[in-house]
Structure 1
Amino acid sequence: MGEGRFPELSDVSAHIGQRVVAAEPGRVELAWTPGEHLCNPAGGVHGGYIAMILDNAVCFASASTGAHFVPQLTLNLTIDYLRGVQAGETYTVVSTCLKPGRTRLVSTALITDPQGRPMAQASGSTVPNQAFAR
């Protein structure tokens, strides 16, 4: 992943509208275009889906530090919702691994709108999922 080769992503990626744009060791950039099906009754993107994209970004940044891609398990995730997210707009999600390691990794993620305004941010710690380790 850190070499710019991306693992095949699950159907969840298509469902929530995420796409890996760039990756290097310790940093991953996603493009996120949430659809109307992710909205709450008030018309904004549901906070659970915002949490999901932030969780994915934190896990990808952590995974990008390894010699090969190993899915991550989230130990904790702290989120700050800063502005409402709207369907149909493409957002940038950048995540950086602050502390790589074999047993626990710490990463941050930030969602920005097309104007560069922060929408939500997260910090989280992950652990490599040993079921997928080679």
Structure 2
Amino acid sequence: MSTTDLSALSGLELMRWIQTARQTDTAPPSIGRLLGMRFDEVEHGRMVISLDTRPDFANPLGTVHGGIGATLLDSVMGCAVHTTLPAGVGYTTLELKVNYIRAARTGGQTLTAEGNVIHVGRSTATAEGRVLDENGKLIAHATTTCLILRPSDD
């Protein structure tokens, strides 16, 4: 599918296309591909994304760097917002607030993030997210505010 074709998809359709492309290893370059993110569930207003930790994710203390958790949360919440948007409408993160609860190990631990939309308006949207380890323990939780990017009325 070409870039032109992708721009005609609604946010939900685009997230589902990416989900399929990741499963078939045909997804375009992205932070998600770089980190090994999997789109486990894609619904209107809700996303579940997981990844497996690896030694490259380590901070100086040897646990998963907080930036990995923040990126996972930013992705899952932003993608949840995107699922609610029509074709041609995008978003960008205005604010990201992350609370870290416990460290994650770097040795192949599966981290699963769920993002849920709280509100979508004309110009902003809000969402919340949580990251759990493979034992269901809370690693981090967050909220976001996104700016809705609508085409100009020129």
TM interval, shorter chain, is 0.7 to 0.9
Shift of the 52–69 alpha-carbon distance from structure 1 to 2, 3 Å rule, reads farther
1:18 matched to 2:28? The reply is: no
AA paired with 2:134? P
How far did 1:130 drift?
4.6
Identity %: 26
| Structure 1 runs (4+) greater than 4 angstroms displaced | none
Shift of the 17–34 alpha-carbon distance from structure 1 to 2, 3 Å rule, reads farther
Matches within 5 A, 1:1-134: 1-2=11-12, 5-7=16-18, 8=27, 10-68=29-87, 70-87=89-106, 88-130=108-150
Any idea what SS the aligned residue of 1:6 has?
helix
Any gaps of 5 or more consecutive residues in structure 1? none
Corresponding position of 2:24:
none
Shift of the 24–126 alpha-carbon distance from structure 1 to 2, 3 Å rule, reads same
- Distance, in Å, in 2 between the alignment partners of 1:86 and 1:42 is 11
- Distance, in Å, in 1 between the alignment partners of 2:55 and 2:48 is 23
What's the TM-score once normalised by structure 2's chain length? 0.76
The Cα offsets for residues 55-101 of structure 1, whole Å up to 9 and x where unpaired, read as 11111111011133754211111111001012211111000000012
Number of equivalenced pairs: 131
Is the CA contact 1:107–1:125 (under 8 Å) kept in the aligned structure 2?
A: yes
- Distance, in Å, in 1 between the alignment partners of 2:150 and 2:143 is 22
What's the TM-score once normalised by structure 1's chain length? 0.86
How far did 1:11 drift?
3.0
Is the CA contact 1:17–1:32 (under 8 Å) kept in the aligned structure 2?
A: yes
* Cα root mean square deviation, aligned: 2.0
Shift of the 26–104 alpha-carbon distance from structure 1 to 2, 3 Å rule, reads same
AA paired with 1:5? R
Any idea what SS the aligned residue of 2:117 has?
strand
**Bigger radius of gyration:** 2
Any gaps of 5 or more consecutive residues in structure 2? 1-10, 19-26
Is the CA contact 1:59–1:71 (under 8 Å) kept in the aligned structure 2?
A: no
